[in-house]
Amino acid sequence: MSEQHHDDDAPDATSAGTAEDVPAPPETGDLVIDAALGDLAAAPPEDLDAQLASGEAVQRTLQSRLSDLGG
């Protein structure tokens, strides 16, 4: 008699990258930065192009805000 081994800790391919797995983005109090971080968090995990585009948008937003502080 053979036993089937089920690894309950193994990731399930059907649930990888679901919305429940992604933590909510931090809130900074800056509406523009919070919106950019929200867009990044909303990018589908399986869509690398969308993730890269959102990440680049966040970088531009942060650079713009930091340059505003520089005077």
For 30-64, the pLDDT digits (tens) are 898 899 999 999 999 999 999 999 999 999 999 99
Nearest to 35 by CA among 43, 27, 47: 27
Other C-beta atoms within 10 Å of 9: how many?
Answer: 4
> Cα 5 from chain centroid?
33
pTM across the whole model? 0.61
d(CA 50, CA 28) in angstroms, rounded, equals 23
Query: 13 falls in which pLDDT band (50, 70, 90)?
Result: very low
The residue assigned the tokens 């585009």 is 53
Top-confidence residue, 37 or 3? 37
Domain boundaries, the chain: 25-70
